[in-house]
Structure 1
Amino acid sequence: MAFNVLKSGMLALVQDLGRHGYQHLGVTTGGPMDELAFRWANALLDNPDNSAQIEITFGMFTLEAQAPTSIALTGANLGATLNDRPILPWQTHAIQKGDILQFKQPSHGLRAYLAVKGGFDVAPILGSVATVMRESLGGQTGKGHKLQKGDVLPYTATSKHDQKIVPRIAIPNYDSKDIAVVMGYQFDTFSGLDRARFFGSEFTVTPQSDRMGYRMSGQAINGNKKGIISEGIAYGSVQIPNDGQPIILLRDRQTIGGYPKIGCVTSFSGGLLSQKQPGDTIGFQCVSVDQAERERHLQLARIAQWR
């Protein structure tokens, strides 16, 4: 009653909604890079919101089912096939014993989410199964390892399957370049020219981007402060280091930092950003806290209503 990993791919991680309540000890939250896609995958299967899933980055990942179940795929289109037959994301699929589920390279987006009916049976560490590799915490082994060939992912077998599809209106547009940013309390330390450059220019995702943070390349933003006393780091914080190139801190971010922050990417836009590949371009869009909260409430209410 498990999936056997036949091919590990570039990066496949066990994730739930994250490890909360330990940042004061230096332990980051982890969790899914694209929270909206993660939540929809569990909703499709009527799983609890926090049920463990697999986050698959860039594909090249292959599993073999050892028992029947029902799965949901959301997030990026990684060219998934079931027994060599193409299947689409943002819907459920029936799985039989011996089925081969394969993910190829991205055709749209970067990260896909694989949920199984009832969730994967993985032991939590500090209340969560979220895998944070740099902290050697969570995941299938409990030590922060990415999934490897030969790993076994247990689940509760079921022959019941309900065909469900996410409404088109709820599926994010991963081609969008607009990344919403709420102004931070250090916003006023940046000149009018730097603010105009930040919100009026396009930036390119660099190859140095990962789950910890996305590094951007574009017109340099030069704040009046070159450093600050280290302080807590919120999800989505947009740090401006000495070279003026923004760094957006995401799920596996450090818990404290000392660079000035021009603002904070919203949770929804952070998910959009996490679907960008190196070389993709984005633009920052200023929104208010009220706008950001309304967007999040809308997305969560849409899932709750659909359930």
Structure 2
Amino acid sequence: MSFEVLAPGILTLLQDSGRVGYQHLGITTGGPMDEHAYYWANRLLGNDPSAVQLEITFGQLQLQANASSTIAITGADLCATLNDKVITPWRTYAIASGDVLAFVTPKSGLRAYLAVSGGFQCQPKLGSCSTVKREQLGGLSGLGHAIATGDILPFESNTTRPEQRVPKWAIPNYDVPLELGVIPSYQHASFSRDEQMTFYTSNYEVSQHIDRMGYRLSGPPVTSQLDGIISEGIAFGAIQIPSDGQPIVLMKDRQTIGGYPKIGCLSSLGTSQLSQRQPGQIVTFSPSDVADAEIERRLFNRVILG
């Protein structure tokens, strides 16, 4: 049971929930940029929450099924088709041997997630299949390679399941301006009240410089009273402010330590929403609290894990 890759797309990576426990060795976590979409895809299929999926950035992926199964697609609407018939994300589909699944270009969002019943098979490296190209780790080869033409993507089961859909209340709108809560942490106190006010009242635009390491934003600059700091560990969603004053939100493939002042940190689910924004879209920030982030995550986990 497998898919054959007819066209690999712009950037298609095998991802599970991430590589945990190695940041002290300089190895980042990897994992899905959009945890919300990733976990919902596995939830729809009754998979293990950490089952391996494909993260499809910007589209242009084409696959042919070599067995019957059930798939789930969540996240961005990449104008997907099944045997040339348009299909939409946030639901499951039955597939048969010979079916061709294709993703074109984004209609909304940036990254789609493709899960298959039972999950894709992949040999873990350091406890995870997550692909991190910079570290040459994970993925089908174990060496951090993106999916390529001719690759065979085995999956564990050809079980067909009843049709499932994500409830409407759980489907994000990636086209509206995004407001993100910031937990005032790290070097937040080193930014004056005026600088903090600038940060929290300004519009920031997603720049062209975005990838799995970080999202660089463009807008009114903010400045810390610190010239630099001793390098320290960095969490998913940390917002570092380099010398030009333009915020950089650190993502799944971030470096494990850094020496720029950081004004705070986003929640994991907030950072997931940012990962679906394209260059030119607007992001704003507001002060938040770690308790709010914890409650949001617990409610999400309760829905996903049952």
Q: Could you state the TM-score of these two structures normalised by the residue count of structure 2?
A: 0.98
- The separation in 2 between residues aligned to 1:198 and 1:157, in whole angstroms, is 49
Runs of 4+ in 1 over 4 A off after TM superposition: none
The residue that corresponds to 1:173 in the other structure is 173
Q: What amino acid does structure 1 have at the position aligned with 2:135? A: E
Instruction: Provide, for residues 212-266 of structure 1, a one-character-per-residue CA deviation record: whole Å limited to 9, x for no partner.
Output: 0000111010110020001111111100001100010010000000000100011
Is 1:211 the counterpart of 2:215 in the alignment? Answer: no
**Further displaced range: 293-302 or 2-11:** 293-302
**Further displaced range: 275-284 or 19-28:** 275-284
- The separation in 2 between residues aligned to 1:160 and 1:61, in whole angstroms, is 23
Q: Report if aligned partners of 1:68, 1:157 keep a CA contact under 8 Å in 2.
A: no
- The separation in 2 between residues aligned to 1:173 and 1:293, in whole angstroms, is 22
- Deviation of the 1:14 alpha carbon: 0.1
Q: What amino acid does structure 2 have at the position aligned with 1:28? A: T
Q: How many residues align?
A: 305
The residue that corresponds to 2:110 in the other structure is 110
- Deviation of the 1:50 alpha carbon: 0.6
Q: Report if aligned partners of 2:117, 2:160 keep a CA contact under 8 Å in 1.
A: no
Q: What amino acid does structure 2 have at the position aligned with 1:209? A: I
Q: What amino acid does structure 2 have at the position aligned with 1:127? A: G
The residue that corresponds to 2:234 in the other structure is 233
Is 1:19 the counterpart of 2:22 in the alignment? Answer: no
Q: What amino acid does structure 1 have at the position aligned with 2:140? A: Q
Is 1:270 the counterpart of 2:271 in the alignment? Answer: yes
- Deviation of the 1:156 alpha carbon: 3.1
- Deviation of the 1:159 alpha carbon: 4.8
RMSD of Structure 2 on Structure 1 (CA)? 0.9
Could you list the runs of 5+ residues in structure 2 that have no partner in the other structure?
none
The residue that corresponds to 1:189 in the other structure is 190
The residue that corresponds to 2:62 in the other structure is 62
Q: What amino acid does structure 2 have at the position aligned with 1:229? A: I
- The separation in 1 between residues aligned to 2:39 and 2:283, in whole angstroms, is 24
Q: Report if aligned partners of 1:129, 1:139 keep a CA contact under 8 Å in 2.
A: yes
- The separation in 1 between residues aligned to 2:151 and 2:130, in whole angstroms, is 17
- The separation in 2 between residues aligned to 1:268 and 1:159, in whole angstroms, is 30
Q: Report if aligned partners of 1:67, 1:157 keep a CA contact under 8 Å in 2.
A: no
- The separation in 2 between residues aligned to 1:180 and 1:41, in whole angstroms, is 25
Instruction: Provide, for residues 36-84 of structure 1, a one-character-per-residue CA deviation record: whole Å limited to 9, x for no partner.
Output: 1100000100000110000000011100000101000000111110000
- The separation in 2 between residues aligned to 1:269 and 1:278, in whole angstroms, is 17
Q: Report if aligned partners of 1:53, 1:120 keep a CA contact under 8 Å in 2.
A: yes
Q: What amino acid does structure 1 have at the position aligned with 2:43? A: A
Q: Report if aligned partners of 1:13, 1:55 keep a CA contact under 8 Å in 2.
A: yes
The residue that corresponds to 1:7 in the other structure is 7
Other structure's SS at 1:133 match = coil
- Deviation of the 1:161 alpha carbon: 2.3
The residue that corresponds to 1:220 in the other structure is 221
The residue that corresponds to 1:83 in the other structure is 83
Q: What amino acid does structure 2 have at the position aligned with 1:267? A: S
Q: Report if aligned partners of 1:190, 1:224 keep a CA contact under 8 Å in 2.
A: yes
